[in-house]
Amino acid sequence: MINKKKHTILIREAAQRLGFSFIGFAKAERLDEEAQRLEMWLNQGMHGQMQYMENHFEKRVDPTKLVPNAKSVICLMYNYYTDQEQEDATAPKISKYAYGKDYHFVIKDKLKELLHFINENIGEVHGRCFVDSAPVLERDWAKRAGVGWVGKNTLIIHPKAGSYFFLAELILDLELEYDHPMKDYCGTCTRCIDACPTDAISPQGYLVDGSKCISYLTIELKEAIPNEFKGKMGNWMFGCDICQEVCPWNRFSKKHDEPAFEPHPDLLKMTKQDWEEITEEVFQQIFKDSAVKRTKFKGLQRNIAFLKPE
């Protein structure tokens, strides 16, 4: 008999040693209810120009299409919170998750180590690692695996640690013991809805119009930012943390201890003027291994120019 309990404990402990804060296990099966929600969201055009969201629909909702004979989805949360802030309060702002080295690389390496550990200590399994880089409904899996609930801002929130976490998954053809979803503790709170300057979060919460989200406008949108958002961007030039900053659960956030996420020494010192006059050379230097590379130098320049009052 396969010792599911023992294997689950072994994997959980190994993941904690690798620095993951929370680990949950869900049964790999088609996400029927979530598939309906995704279809509705796409049909309403809430993905904006993120055309890739329309691709591989079945892979998004069925893990066995990504890993043949998949049995389990392991969901992991990796802390990126820091209390460090940009020194110039008037400078264009950058989301905390992008302060340090690109999380895709940092976490992917850890997942590969975890997969290697499983193969060495449990036996030959087939699995794939995912960090926000493939058609995987990360938040839906995290919810199913009980590592948090989906908040009104649609982010995963943990009651003891808040929401400043990267999500990652290992999909395996190994049966394990599964966790249960967690209760939703948002209650009657509407702080994230009230604080969003572009009204991206629906009045009832739990639904975000991606095409209005500041993160989308500053990162995913490749053409000019629509003028309707002029003066509503809250001074964000890359990403946005507003709905996390106002969330009461983030009073429990603790500083990460991942050296790779420490900001470039010059990043937090840059003044408003430094950003407005940034050269491509400085951009390449400061964001050498950063997620900010996604928007490219020209994209960041566009965002900074858009923030200037007319």
How does pLDDT run across 240-272, given as a tens digit for each residue?
999 999 999 999 999 999 999 999 989 999 999
Identify the pLDDT of residue 94. 97
pLDDT value at residue 36: 85
- What pTM did the predictor assign? 0.94
Catalytic residue among 62, 88, 109, 132: 132
184 is catalytic: no
How many Cβ atoms are within 10 Å of 231's Cβ, its own excluded? 12
pLDDT of residue 40: 84
pLDDT tens string 1-34:
569 999 999 999 999 999 999 999 999 998 888 8
Pick the closest to residue 216 from 280, 139, 303 (CA basis).
303
* Among 151-165, 188-202, 281-295, the least confident range: 281-295
- Going by pLDDT thresholds of 50, 70 and 90, the confidence category of residue 51 is confident
Distance CA 181, CA 187 (A): 17
Judging by DSSP bridges, how do beta strands 127-130 and 72-79 pair with one another? unpaired
Burial state string for 239-257 with b = 16 or more CB within 10 A and e = fewer than 16? bbbbbbebbebbeebeebe
